[in-house]
Chain A
């Protein structure tokens, strides 16, 4: 299992579904829900200020694009501006129900984005992720 997976998603139903799905599929040990980009940034800011705090760096982040207060693209931009080194350590997968082809293109172009997945996130997609080199070791036992 992946130790820590963060989901930045404003829709609480979706968050709930993630939680159930991850549990059902034994995808992660620790699920960190964050409801928008600003809160996610705050999370990382706190971590950077006080590393002794319990805040931990997630091994995988699912990032939604359309969110109130701060959207996905804005979050990435802010992170790049303020904590670029931290950003490079993060494995970010954009997960969106956007049908605008522009978003897909942007995701492909963005060097901090690992992948773009369409909602809803389903079992098959998780299984595919488990096969990825980055996460493979977590599921080897």
Chain B
């Protein structure tokens, strides 16, 4: 059996033997290092299965660094030359983990001594290596931790004994020999959240080993607050946690820096978010990475949507090419500022001012920052400004006055074309020359002074001086000047005052005329102002007040002295007349007495036209001394009174006289009526009685005429009515028909135009009778009388015209006397000189008038105009 076993064993292929060795990776490499064979040890150590790795170069086990250095090739070359090559170093497993390998490569030769391949035996020495490494690392770690202000600690659990390194003592600012306990260590943490968290973390770690890594605040032994990073984890043994170990790092500085960083990040974020303009970041393709609220507002879009799109759709189409060009420039590192139109999400166009700059991260341009300012309003305002500047220019160009600016040195800066007309110089000729050089020499001083005062803010904004025109003539100029401190310019308007000066001198003349007039009229000219409360004051009183009435109102302008000078008994009438004029604004006309300065009473007449001016009433008026006139008037009134008295008495007397005359006369007439003359036998007596009769008749006629006159004068309320003129004419004509017939007179009449007039019937008869009989009585001896009688309308009034061809009057001689009483112009036996006087009286007593035109030997025309 044993032999069989040995035989069996011998029969085992070598390959099989190697294949089962697990602690070593044994492989067969080709001459070129290609893996030809693989055993289970290799699989265990390196993690590859044979089918995965056979055919590949053994260099896959080496680190990148080793590969780059050509280590696998070097080892093969060494083995080729020396027969074998040894190496220790990190190799990589299939899963990427490293292990510490001890490698022996041995060359395999054929029978002729040629190398046909290699064996490679690899052991995993990681554990051994690790220990050695740890020691090395620890030393380095110590150096590193000290530099990094990291201290390490350990907590033995069963007894809760805490160790910590010197560095931790330093962090806690305790002495190096400080012996910490768990509780005291925990109590270093700031009370509250910090301490609670560490306690909890430690407890949890003790319980189940959960590692912790916390950033917390401690209060050091000296009372300083600082940030630390506390790390810890549990160490298990046999499923139980036997101790905790970890590190504490002083991260105060780092924390502070971090805080600082956070703060500055926040600040930058604020700058971004709170920026009044739209701020945004684009990637290299122009897609929005980030942006602030303002951009969202401007575009009118949600942030979710904006994140997915590029800026292009919002760019105004006509601006897109230019904007893209700018964008590319920015991507090349050249910041750009430009204006562009933007179309909002709702299709509204906005004008934006864009500033773009590259976003540089680690030296690479990764995108573009943008700041967009909405200048739509600004642009509009710009346009408006431009418009208003144009308007201003128009005003300047067309102004009749010179509009100009003058700088501090006194040079014309800008001047409007009116200079050509006013000064004879074109604006071109004037710009840049000192304004003073054109001022007339005599006026230079006042001009300079005025300019200084204006610049100093003492407001003499208007003044006048004289300029010398290009043609040498002087021209008065009124200046209106404003000094602008900011612009350092005088803004001036210069007006040709030639016309104004003329007007002024005219005004002065006319003022003088009016003053002369006011001072020289034979009365007081005044202006009195009456306030709404009734009080009053003189605003003007001419000097004549003093001269005529001997007092002046100047001293007490607020007291109506005039009123006090009115005698008491006339005061009421005076003031009520004033009051009436004030309330009705009707003309004031008052006559009364006034006490003069010397106490004398004078009569005055006050006249004025009241004018309402605001609350006050202005009396523009005159005051005349009418003492003389008044005296005469009073005398006349007295005289009239006496005369009327006399007249009444005389009238009475005349009634009685005429009655007393008539009474016997009527008896005489009666006697003659009853006396039968035929029965008087005695011739002489009969003739005497006849004479007596004729005289009686004459006396009666005369007396009757006189009485008629008396009655007309007395009878003022005669009745008038519409009278048919034709009817009255016929009546009268019939009454004197034999007289007319005898005279051979021809009478033409026409009353068609005015058939009826309003008049008294008896008077009409009397008038017609008198005028017709007169025309016949005073007919021309060479011809028969021709009488034309007619009515007509003239200026809306009725007229009766009686025209004859008689003797006529010498109008120049008799004009005033024609209608007088007892005026006889012709030596005619029956002329009593009473007829025309009666006609005139009758016409005028009823409000009409009578006119006469006449020419000697031609005829006379009487024209009666009815009321």
In the complex formed, the residue of B with least CB distance to A20 is B674
Interface residues on chain B, number (Cβ under 8 Å): 19
B655, B667, B673, B707: the one contacting A14 at CB < 8 Å is: B667
Q: Is A66 touching B659 in the complex (CB atoms < 8 A)?
A: yes
- Determine the chain A residues whose CB is within 8 A of the CB of B710 once the complex forms: 99
Give the distance in Å from the alpha carbon of A120 to the alpha carbon of B671 in the complex: 10
Q: Is the Cβ of A24 less than 8 Å from the Cβ of B674?
A: yes
Least CB separation from B654: chain A residue? A99
Tell me the interface secondary structure of chain B in the complex: helix
A82-141: which residues lie under 8 A (CB-CB) from chain B? Answer: 96-101, 119-123
A99's partner among B662, B664, B670, B673 (CB-CB below 8 A) is B662
Produce 1/0 per residue, B645-687, CB < 8 A to A.
Answer: 0000000000100110011111101110110000000000000
Interface size of A as a range: 10 to 19
Task: Check B714–A101 contact: CB distance below 8 A.
Answer: yes
A57: Cβ under 8 A from any B Cβ: no
Which residue on chain B has the smallest CB distance to residue A10? B663
User: A13 an interface residue at 8 Å Cβ cutoff?
Assistant: yes
Flag if B662 contacts A17 (CB, 8 Å).
no
Q: Which of A13-28 contact B (CB under 8 A)?
A: 13-14, 17, 20-21, 24
B650 → A minimal CB distance (Å): 13
Task: Pick the contact of B674: A21, A66, A96 (CB < 8 A).
Answer: A21
A80 within 8 A of B: no
- With contacts A97-B659, A98-B659, A99-B658 known, is A121 near B670, CB below 8 A? yes
> B659 and A99: CB pair below 8 A?
yes
**B673: nearest residue on chain A (CB-CB)?**
A122
Q: Which residue of A lies closest to B674 (CB)?
A: A20
Rounded to whole angstroms, the CA-CA distance of A24 and B673 in the bound complex is: 11
| Complex interface: chain A residues within 8 A of B663 (CB) | 11, 14, 66, 97, 119
B658, A120: Cβ atoms closer than 8 Å = no
Question: With the chains together, A123 CA to B672 CA distance in Å?
Answer: 12
B116 contacts A by Cβ under 8 Å: no
Whole-angstrom CA separation of A11 from B663 in the bound complex: 8
Q: Tell whether, in the assembled complex, residue A123 and residue B715 are in contact, meaning their CB atoms are under 8 Å apart.
A: no
When C-beta atoms are compared, the residue in chain B nearest to A11 turns out to be B663
In the assembly, what is the distance between CA of A33 and CA of B204, in Å? 177
In the complex, B711 has a CB within 8 A of chain A? yes
Which of A21, A98, A123 has the most chain B CB atoms closer than 10 A to its own CB?
A98
**Cα-based distance from A21 to B675 in the complex (angstroms):** 11
Tell whether, in the assembled complex, residue B667 and residue A99 are in contact, meaning their CB atoms are under 8 Å apart.
no
Which listed residue, B666, B711, B714, touches A120 by the CB 8 Å rule?
B666
Q: State A96–B662 Cα separation when bound (angstroms).
A: 10
A23 to B: closest C-beta gap in Å: 10
Kindly provide the distance from the CB of B702 to the nearest chain A CB, expressed in whole angstroms: 13
Instruction: Tell me which residues across on chain A come within 8 A of B671, comparing CB atoms.
Output: 13, 17
Contacts of B669 in A (CB 8 A): 120, 122
Cα distance A40–B44 in the bound complex, in angstroms: 196
Identity of the chain A residue whose Cβ is nearest the Cβ of B669 in the assembled complex: A120
Contacts of A24 in B (CB 8 A): 674
Contact A13 B667 (CB under 8 A): yes
CB distance from A41 to the nearest CB of B (A): 22
A98 touches B674 (CB 8 A): no
Q: Which of B442-482 contact A (CB under 8 A)?
A: none
Given A13-B667, A21-B670, A120-B670: A101 and B711 interface contact (C-beta under 8 Å): yes
Complex Cα distance A96/B660, Å?
A: 11
CB distance from A141 to the nearest CB of B (A): 25
Q: List the B side residues contacting A99 at CB < 8 Å.
A: 655, 658-659, 662, 707, 710-711
Q: List the interface of chain B (C-beta within 8 A of A).
A: 655, 658-659, 662-667, 669-671, 673-674, 707, 710-711, 714-715
Contacts A/B (CB < 8 Å), 16 sampled: A14-B670, A17-B667, A21-B670, A21-B674, A66-B659, A66-B663, A97-B662, A97-B665, A98-B655, A99-B710, A100-B659, A120-B667, A120-B669, A120-B673, A122-B673, A123-B673
Q: Other than the known A14-B670, A99-B655, what 9 A-B pairs have Cβ atoms closer than 8 Å?
A: A17-B670, A17-B674, A66-B659, A96-B659, A97-B662, A97-B663, A99-B662, A122-B670, A122-B673
